[in-house]
Amino acid sequence: MPVFEDVAAFHAWIKSLTRQYWPLVQPKLEKTFAKYDNTPTVFTHGDIADHNILIDGGRISGLIDWETSGWMPYYWENVCCEEVGPPKAFKKVVEIALADFGAGEGEGISQAAETTNNRPPREFMTKEQRRYFYGDNCLDESDNSVPELPAIIQ
């Protein structure tokens, strides 16, 4: 992950990674970008998950797995916690603990992250694309609808 001078530079980097899919993710990101563009970066772990927290005697004694740490936007830790698949109880603890640190900002960032692999956001994929990128278990067979891609993307 590159080092960013400020949050606006981080947002510009995210935008550059989305390439031709920017029109799809822009509506979900603009509000977050506007809210945080003029805030300083903060040091974050980047992978807070139950398997990275050390417990000794019923108390947190440390955090491991720091390779994704860095100076990121205020909301970044919360976004990263939304990305992992920990048990529901752990997600609830994180939700409560990080409530004041950008809760709910993750959807647009997650959608933008999908496009960095040069593929459309999941909600715009055909069933075949979803099966290819995410495997057979990702499909809800009752959902046959796929939103139309904007002309700029086709």
The whole-number pLDDT of residue 84 equals: 52
Closest to 108 measured CA to CA, from 14, 41, 16: 14
pLDDT, one tens digit per residue, over 16-53 is 888 888 888 888 888 888 888 998 888 988 888 788 88
pLDDT, one tens digit per residue, over 82-132 is 655 556 666 666 666 666 666 666 666 666 666 666 677 777 778 887 777
Closest to 36 measured CA to CA, from 76, 81, 73, 82: 73
Structure tokens at 81: 């916690």
Closest to 79 measured CA to CA, from 103, 100, 97, 99: 103
pLDDT, one tens digit per residue, over 80-94 is 776 555 566 666 666
The whole-number pLDDT of residue 152 equals: 46
Residues facing 72 on adjacent strands: 42
Residues 6+ apart with CB under 8 A from 52: 45, 63, 64, 65
Residues facing 42 on adjacent strands: 72
Could you state, in order of their start, the residue ranges of all structural domains in the chain?
7-118, 126-154
Rounded to 5°, angle at Cα 52 from 33 and 13: 25
